[in-house]
C-alpha cells in the first residue's frame, strides 16, 4: 500500500475541514 506522509495528511485534512466550513456557510 501507499504510505502517507504525515505532513501531507495534515494538509489534506485541513483542506477538507476548510471545505466543510465553506459548504456549511453556503447552505445558510
Confidence at residue 18, expressed as pLDDT on a 0 to 100 scale: 93
Distance from C-alpha of 28 to C-alpha of 4, rounded to nearest angstrom: 35
pTM of the model: 0.51
pLDDT for 1-28, tens place per residue?
678 789 999 999 999 999 989 888 887 7
C-alpha cell read off for 14: 485541513
What's the chain's Rg over C-alpha atoms? 12
Confidence at residue 26, expressed as pLDDT on a 0 to 100 scale: 82
Distance from C-alpha of 24 to C-alpha of 17, rounded to nearest angstrom: 11
DSSP-assigned letters across all residues of 1-28: -PPPPHHHHHHHHHHHHHHHHHHHHHH-
Amino acid at each position: 500500500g501507499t504510505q502517507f506522509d504525515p505532513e501531507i495528511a495534515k494538509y489534506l485534512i485541513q483542506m477538507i475541514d476548510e471545505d466543510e466550513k465553506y459548504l456549511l456557510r453556503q447552505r445558510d
